[in-house]
Structure 1
Amino acid sequence: MDKYIKGNKKTEALELMVGHYLVGNQGIYKVQEFLGEGGFGKVARCTKLGSPEIYAIKIITNVQEGKEEFESMKLIQVLDPDENHLMKMYECFSFQNVICLVYEILEESLEDFLIKNECKATPLTYVRALAQQMFQALKALKSIGVVHCDIKLDNIMFADKKSLKFKLIDFGLAVESKELPIGTDIQVTRFRAPEVILGLPLDESVDMWALGMVLACVYFADVLNRAKNKDTFFTRDNGDWRLSFIDLLKCILQVNPQRRITPSQALEHDFITMNSLMPVPSPDKCRGLCERETQLNILITSRDELISIYCTDQKFGHTSFKEFSLFS
């Protein structure tokens, strides 16, 4: 019994080892391996004794932070986690100095996917599936007045890569929209909405901006945020689907949050509904996209508070230009 970790036994998450047991309210969990760690503690892949099921247990060393994440998860209990593409929580239990949250096991994050894919371009088939499911997730959160506040590449995971199923995870910073005061320090820098930076009134539209940045990173292979220079040059196959996606991005990345597209409206966009568009090419066909003649060059530059976008069709020589100002 010396390997069991009970409520009346002092311990620290860093002392946990593979093979240790955690005694929860709904069963006893055995640590099989550690999936990752951070400032909060560790995430362990665990099995439950007497069950073939596998779980991901987030072990949080800061008791207050653990309780806050549990309270945040309680906000979304009314939502169906599978229908709305949200991470499923089974239970929360505590013992001295440690909080454990038991979640469903998922595959890998978008961050890990891009790294393993060596930041190569992602087919629109993947992007569309990701966008549709995350729009549904944000629509559900908006319906109950909850803001995630921390949407980024490593907080969206594959639930099933073969069927392109995704889930939104980590609700540790989620709050009710009415509790978002001006000047709130939320979102990591590269996914931070303009209104957060400028200290303006906030609402759930901050999540849409962050998701728009995620979709751009995934499609453009995260080049935009990894570039050493402010000028970033992209070459993509031309076609209705890509142009429709870029149009959707423009609707999401509206500097004025009042003009930003909502999750419900995004679900009705042509890129998602496929109305008036040719079918999305399969992943196999996407491998040969770069060999086609027609290409679109996109040049994004930034200077002071101005963001400029230039689009040039290599085949027909058409060029379009649009400039945004953070203060307009």
Structure 2
Amino acid sequence: MKDTGSAQDAEHEVTMLKVISDLDADLNNVVKFHERVDMSLYDLLEQREWEHHPLHEIRPVAKQGLGVLHTDIKPDNIMFVNMKDQPLRVKLIDFGLAKMASQVELGMEIQPCGYRAPEICLGLPFSKAVDVWGVGCVLAFLYLAQNLFSFKCEYQMVFII
């Protein structure tokens, strides 16, 4: 039996990669279709034994901007291009859950818990700003070397917010 869910997921990601391929990948910090990347932000923190990052290393990671909602911004989906030659130059990967702004609907469950914007948790209208919230959570993760909010329980996350 063929796994149509995986095929549809792959097809969706290829479609989203085609949409963003019109953008300047380097200017918008998104991975090119056949680009090699080094390691994720999560991997770097693990390698540094969970030491927090100084602000001068976090600022370059904060740059972001796309015409689509990524909806899955987390440390695992932000990769370093080449730590040796371009330290701290990052690219956003994994557009499998990305949505065009016109596709978003009230009540959609998007974003991983712990990086989820309050308006998503509460079922309120949302915009591309939810990705900015996700980036903020990633930056806090880098600085604190731990998650700012619970990633196991949405109730605990909202309670802390």
Tell me whether the two structures share a fold, i.e. TM-score over 0.5. Answer: yes
Name the counterpart of 1:149: 71
* Cα separation, 2, equivalents of 1:303 and 1:160: 34
Given that residues 53 and 143 in structure 2 are in contact (C-alpha distance below 8 angstroms), is that contact kept between their aligned partners in structure 1? yes
1:179-215 CA-to-partner distances (Å, cap 9, x unmatched) read 1101101111000000000111121011000000000
Name the counterpart of 2:95: 171
Name the counterpart of 2:82: 160
Q: Do the aligned partners of residues 196 and 223 (structure 1) sit closer, same or farther apart at CA in structure 2, a change above 3 Å counting?
A: closer
Name the counterpart of 2:134: 210
| Corresponding letter in the other structure for 2:35 | E
Given that residues 183 and 196 in structure 1 are in contact (C-alpha distance below 8 angstroms), is that contact kept between their aligned partners in structure 2? yes
Q: Specify which structure has the bigger relative contact order, considering alpha-carbon pairs within 8 angstroms and separated by 6 or more residues.
A: 2
- The total of aligned residue pairs comes to 153
Given that residues 13 and 95 in structure 2 are in contact (C-alpha distance below 8 angstroms), is that contact kept between their aligned partners in structure 1? yes
Given that residues 150 and 188 in structure 1 are in contact (C-alpha distance below 8 angstroms), is that contact kept between their aligned partners in structure 2? yes
Given that residues 217 and 225 in structure 1 are in contact (C-alpha distance below 8 angstroms), is that contact kept between their aligned partners in structure 2? no
- Offset of 1:147 from its aligned partner? 0.8
The alignment partner of 2:140 has SS state of: helix
Higher strand proportion, which one?
Answer: 1
* Cα separation, 1, equivalents of 2:10 and 2:158: 40
Structure of greater Rg: 1
Name the counterpart of 2:18: 74
Q: Do the aligned partners of residues 212 and 223 (structure 1) sit closer, same or farther apart at CA in structure 2, a change above 3 Å counting?
A: closer
Taking the TM superposition and a 5 Å limit, the aligned residue runs for 1:125-274 are 125-132=56-63, 135=64, 138=65, 141-142=66-67, 146-162=68-84, 163=86, 164-222=88-146, 224-225=148-149
Moved over 2 A (4+): 223-226, 302-307
Unmatched tracts of structure 2, length 5 or more: 151-155
Name the counterpart of 2:153: none
TM-score (norm 2): 0.85
Unmatched tracts of structure 1, length 5 or more: 1-11, 13-39, 41-60, 90-102, 227-301, 308-328
* Cα separation, 1, equivalents of 2:127 and 2:139: 20
Given that residues 119 and 223 in structure 1 are in contact (C-alpha distance below 8 angstroms), is that contact kept between their aligned partners in structure 2? no
* Cα separation, 2, equivalents of 1:182 and 1:155: 25
Identity %, equivalent residues: 41
What is the CA RMSD across the aligned residues, in angstroms? 2.5
* Cα separation, 1, equivalents of 2:157 and 2:77: 30
- Offset of 1:305 from its aligned partner? 4.2
Q: 2:6 is matched with which residue: 62, 72, 82?
A: 62
| Corresponding letter in the other structure for 1:83 | L
* Cα separation, 1, equivalents of 2:56 and 2:145: 14
Given that residues 80 and 89 in structure 2 are in contact (C-alpha distance below 8 angstroms), is that contact kept between their aligned partners in structure 1? yes
Q: 1:85 is matched with which residue: 29, 32, 47?
A: 29
TM-score (norm 1): 0.43
- Offset of 1:76 from its aligned partner? 0.7
| Corresponding letter in the other structure for 1:107 | D
* Cα separation, 1, equivalents of 2:91 and 2:157: 36
* Cα separation, 1, equivalents of 2:17 and 2:43: 24
Q: Do the aligned partners of residues 63 and 303 (structure 1) sit closer, same or farther apart at CA in structure 2, a change above 3 Å counting?
A: closer
